[in-house]
Amino acid sequence: MEHVFGDQTGVVELLWGLKEPPSRGPKPTLSVERIARVAMGIADSEGLAAVSMQRVASELEFTKMALYRYVSGKSDLLAVMIELAVGDPPDLYEVSGGWRGRLNEFTRQLAVVWHQHPWLPWATLGDRPIGPRELGWIESAVSALSDTGLTGTEQLDAVFILFGLIRNTQSMSTAGTQPWDSDKKVTPLMQELLYRYGDRFPALTAATSSVTGASRDNGREFGVRRYLDGLEALINQRASAGVHPEADRRPA
């Protein structure tokens, strides 16, 4: 196994339950899950930057060295935190509305989990080991598209983009830089700047001055709906042309 996973063997063992528990000796007073749940509580209330091995050890009333018997460092701890925080993947099998209804429900459930743990959208970026629960979320989304006529590559691309759309609309504080608030009204500072220099930004000035309603979701509903419209157009086009994704499949 070490040959396959290299220097990530330890965290893979933690995430996938491959590490053999001790067979002898007294029952340990700590566990990986207990440590990770304390770390999650800190991250949920104070942000991921507040999590450190020393802080977690203090909350547990143990020494930092005691934690290293269970996790080798913060990166391994974070991997376990993510796996616990994402929870069980959604079962979309009985969701009505076909693939589109399933992806809408997937979006809703993922947004709830990310709202409960605001650090998750950004902790889950990058190339890193993934646990069975988190992988199950990806499986759930991909399986919603499995009978649509999209190729395997297109299914993966579609899910990748959907994750990005949800991530970028999760909250105003993490959605990127924009001169408006969640009601699509410009902030007081930007209001003054556009008043003074609006002639240099005519399209932005016109758009922000004609806002008629607030989405309160950072544009997520609009974005997901339009994105799924595009997927639906492609799926319908494939169906009408009788095209199937067999060329992108590999024999088992």
Give residue 178's pLDDT: 59
Domain spans, the chain: 2-85, 87-174+224-248, 181-217
Kindly report, residue by residue over 42-99, the tens digit of the pLDDT.
999 999 999 999 999 999 999 999 999 999 999 999 999 999 999 999 999 999 999 9
186 pairs with which residues across the strands? 180
Give residue 247's pLDDT: 41
Angle, helix 132-144 to helix 74-86, in steps of 10 degrees: 50
The residue among 225 and 5 whose pLDDT is bigger is 225
Kindly report, residue by residue over 8-51, the tens digit of the pLDDT.
788 888 888 855 555 555 567 899 999 999 999 999 999 999 99
pLDDT band of 204, cuts 50, 70, 90 = confident
Contact 82, 119 (CB under 8 A): no
The residue among 102 and 171 whose pLDDT is bigger is 102
Give residue 41's pLDDT: 97
The count of other CB atoms within 10 Å of the CB of residue 123 is 18
Give the integer Cα–Cα distance in Å for 171 and 217.
8
For every residue of the chain, DSSP letters joined together read -HHHHGGGHHHHHHHHT-SPPPSSSSPPS--HHHHHHHHHHHHHHH-GGG--HHHHHHHHTS-HHHHTTT-SSHHHHHHHHHHHHH-SPP--TT-SSHHHHHHHHHHHHHHHHHHHSTTHHHHT-SS----HHHHHHHHHHHHHTTTSS--HHHHHHHHHHHHHHHHHTS-TTTS---SB-TTS-B-HHHHHHHHHHGGGSHHHHHHHHT-----SSTTHHHHHHHHHHHHHHHHHHHHHHT--GGGG----
pLDDT band of 153, cuts 50, 70, 90 = very high
- Which residue in the block uniquely carries the two structure tokens 């799924």? 228
The CATH number of 87-174+224-248, from 2.70.98, 1.10.357, 3.30.70, 1.10.10, is 1.10.357
Mean pLDDT, range 98-105, rounded to an integer: 97
Is pLDDT above 90 for 197? no
Give the integer Cα–Cα distance in Å for 190 and 209.
12
pTM, rounded to two decimals: 0.81
Give residue 250's pLDDT: 43
CATH class of 2-85: mainly alpha
Give residue 219's pLDDT: 80
Give residue 225's pLDDT: 95
Give residue 179's pLDDT: 60
- Mean pLDDT for the chain? 84
Give residue 246's pLDDT: 44
Contact 150, 245 (CB under 8 A): yes
Is pLDDT above 50 for 252? no
Give residue 189's pLDDT: 76
Contact 205, 194 (CB under 8 A): yes
Give residue 214's pLDDT: 56
